Every structure is written in C-alpha cells, then in structure tokens.
Amino acid sequence: MGSVSLKIGDGTARFKSATLCSSAVNILMLFSVLTTNLFALYAFTSSPKDHQTHSIHHPHKNISLISEQVSLILREIDSSQKQLAQMEKELLGYESIDLSRPNIASELKLFLQHHQLPLGKDSRSGITEMVASVGHSCEKSVDLLSQYMSYKVSGPCPDDWSLAQKLILRGCEPLPRRRCFAKTIPKVGLYPFPVSLWKPISDKIVVWSGLGCKNFECLNSKKLSRDCVGCFDLVNGFENQRFVKARGKNDFLINDVLALGSGGIRIGFDIGGGSGSFAARMAEKNVTVITSTLNIDAPFSEFIAARGLFPLYLSLDHRFPFYDNVFDIIHAASGLDVGVQAEKLEFLMFDIDRILRAGGLFWLDNFYCANEEKKKALTRLIERFGYKKLKWVVGERPESAVAGKSEIYLSAVLQKPVRV
C-alpha cells in the first residue's frame, strides 16, 4: 500500500470553526477508507497462509483464483488512494471552480472566460490569451461568490461590500470584477491636505451598512483591536499623540526612527495600519506611506482616504502587490499576527523582506506576544533574516499591566542587510 500524506488546512484562525467541523467529517472518512484498506491488506497477506491450510484439504484451489483476488485488492487500494487524493484536494481547497454546476451566476462565467488575443501570440509577453482570475479559495464559497456576481449589468450594485469582504476573508481574493455601479456617497466637507490629516471625519461621508456601529461616536467607545483603541478619535484620547509621544519604552518616536534611516526614508508601507495615523505623521515628514487595511468592524478605508492618505484594501493572506526592494520603511504592529501556524508568519515575513529595500527599516511596533514562547519563536524568525537590530525593546505596555495580566510586547527597528 502506497504511503499517503495528508496535510490539513491552512490553519487560518478565521476558518477554524468551519474547518474543525469538516475536518471531523473528513477524518471519519479517512478512518473508514484506512480500515477498508487494512482489511484488504489483511486478506491479502493472510491468503498464502489460508492457501496453505486450504491446500491440504482442497488441493485443486488454483492460482488464477488467487490472482483474481489480488487484482481485486489492488483495484480497491487504487480507488482508496484516489479517494484520499480527492479528500486532500478538498481539504486544501485546490478544486477549481466548476462553472458548469447549477446556480453559477452568468456574470461570473463571462468574467472568467478566456479571451484570445486578436493578433495571436504577443511577442513580448509570450501570451496568447487573456485570462481573468479569482482566488482559488473562491471555490469553497462558490454560493456566496455567485450571490456577489448576481446583479443587473450597468445598474446599481447591491450594497454588499460586507459580502465582498466576507469572501476576501475566506481567501476568495482577488474577487472578480463587476459591471455595476458601486454605491456612491457625497463626500462633502473634505479638507485640503495637510489640514485633512487630523480633522475629524463626518459620519455622513462613510458607508455604515454592514457595520455594527452607525457613527464614529459608537466606534470610539469600542476597542476594535490591539492597534485601534479609540483610533478614530483624532481630537481626544491618545491617537493624536501616537508616534510623537511615548507611553513607555516600547513606543518609539517618528523623529528617532527617521534619524536611524539617515535621511533616506521617502516611501513606506504600514501593515494593518488602523485609521492611518502612522501615515499621517509620516506625511508631515514628507514621507509617503500606503496603509493596508480591511474594513473589519469599521470603515477604515474610507476614513484613511478622507484624511488624504492612501488606503490599500488587501488581506494579509495576499502577496503584496509591490515590486521587490521598493520601500524605505515598513511599519507593522500586532496586526502582523496571522495565527498559530509558524509558517504563516514566515511567508509574511519573507514577503515583507522582499518589498523592503536593502538598508531600509522594518519597524515592529508593539507586537503583542501572547507568551514567552511566542516571543522566542518570533525572535528566532527575525534573527534568521540577518537584520541589524537598531532598536530592540521587550516590555509590558503600561495600559495592559493595569489589567493585572503580564502581556509581553516587542518593539524593534531593524535594518535590512545587503545580501549578495
């Protein structure tokens, strides 16, 4: 019997409950397939013995009977292996979308159709057809995807950005394009740049559909994440002091970090950058920063844009849409935490390393380490990249110490080496 390896899931936390349930079913199936195989194997290995004992009593039992039995068993093993391969495919989500199944929106079929280039093969790129793509994990949520692609062509799109985000969070990224007009909202009262950076944003110029809160006052009373506590409040609270005033030794100041870059910091990328305050402070220093964010529980993208900053709507599971070695600085906080599987963070770290230029700075800002073990694992991972530690502070954040729990935070400024 050939050996079969089975890797389960991608470990993404947000899939956990669904995956656990389907894993249980799959493990049950796996078990039954294995038992069948074991019985077959038993029959197979024990048949010579049977044959011996039988041959004493039935000397006529012939060889063709045995070979028939053997081929039956081999067929069985073969079909079990195919079944296992199919299960592995399903677990990993590597099925491609079956566009022939019922209830697939016609717009989706149309979008995914291949289009031959009118003049045949393009000599520069070597391609012969244009192929539109959607994330391979869309297959797991094909009903939602079809719902997303059901609309009136050239009409108004359904007000369903939260459905789109749900798909993205399930790994259906990129999403297909649509031929409908997204809901618009009059953006009245936007301030000119740079006044816009720290002016409160009116409730009226963002879309609140699909969100629990319907205004900023409500958002300000919530802890949205470790990196966004009252982060929409640009007037009161701490948000307008971040990066210029330290709450503890884990908080580094913009001026200090820029000084480490010895004047060469011009463009940057903020990963999971909350409401964009890092980009705002950097803008004041004439550094252009792109802030990656999704609209989890709050209208982050619209808020950042209203401040006159560049929001990038992209999940952290997606390869960064930037070329190698382009950024002078990359800033990340606890949003970098992508779940339990060590390899997930590794993939992300390598992608960060890829887009940061040699000599550029990676600012890890108050990264929450659940425990000492996690801190050690992260430290080992970082050290493998051979960055120069310009700053490295492990400590507890004051506001978390108040809660009586010991929470470890790591802050660091690391410089990417030149690798040859």
Ligand X SMILES: *[C@@H]1O[C@H](CO)[C@@H](O)[C@H](O)[C@H]1NC(C)=O
* Interface positions with ligand X (CB under 6 A): 60, 62, 64-65, 285-286
- Closest among 285, 276, 343 to 305, alpha carbons compared: 276
> What's the min distance (Å) between Cβ of 64 and ligand X?
5
Phi, psi of 37 (to 5 degrees): -60, -40
> What's the min distance (Å) between Cβ of 32 and ligand X?
30
Residue whose CB is less far from ligand X, 73 or 224: 73
Residue entry with tokens 């960060």: 352
Burial label, 186 (beta-carbon count in 10 A; 0-12, 13-18, 19+): exposed
Cα separation, 399 vs 404, in Å, equals 10
Residue whose CB is less far from ligand X, 154 or 286: 286
> What's the min distance (Å) between Cβ of 213 and ligand X?
35
> What's the min distance (Å) between Cβ of 61 and ligand X?
8
CA atoms within 13 A on the CB side of 248: 16
Residue whose CB is less far from ligand X, 120 or 192: 192
> What's the min distance (Å) between Cβ of 264 and ligand X?
13
Residue whose CB is less far from ligand X, 149 or 254: 254
> What's the min distance (Å) between Cβ of 62 and ligand X?
4
Amino acid at site 359: G
Residue whose CB is less far from ligand X, 60 or 223: 60
> What's the min distance (Å) between Cβ of 45 and ligand X?
22
Residue whose CB is less far from ligand X, 33 or 66: 66
Residue whose CB is less far from ligand X, 125 or 262: 262
> What's the min distance (Å) between Cβ of 286 and ligand X?
4
Helix, coil or strand: residue 110: helix
Residue whose CB is less far from ligand X, 55 or 162: 55
Residue whose CB is less far from ligand X, 309 or 314: 309
Cα torsion through 207, 211, 216, 220, rounded to 10: -160
Cα separation, 241 vs 235, in Å, equals 10
Structure tokens at 412: 């660091």
Compute the C-alpha angle 126/128/130, nearest 5°: 110
Cα separation, 210 vs 206, in Å, equals 12
Cα separation, 28 vs 41, in Å, equals 20
Cα separation, 395 vs 412, in Å, equals 11
> What's the min distance (Å) between Cβ of 242 and ligand X?
18
306, 189 contact by CB (below 8 A): no
SS3 assignment for 152-193: CCCCECCCCHHHHHHHHHCCCCCCCCCCCECCCCCCCCCCCC
CA of residue 388 relative to chain centroid, distance = 28
114-149 CB burial, b ≥16 within 10 A, e <16: eeeeeeeeeeeeeeeeeeeebbbbbbbbbebbbbbb
Q: Classify the phi-psi angles of 343: left when phi > 0, otherwise alpha if psi is within -120 to 50, otherwise beta.
A: alpha
> What's the min distance (Å) between Cβ of 65 and ligand X?
5
> What's the min distance (Å) between Cβ of 416 and ligand X?
24
Number of other CB atoms surrounding residue 236 within 10 Å:
9
Residue whose CB is less far from ligand X, 193 or 392: 193
168, 315 contact by CB (below 8 A): yes
Residue whose CB is less far from ligand X, 2 or 192: 192
Cα separation, 232 vs 400, in Å, equals 20
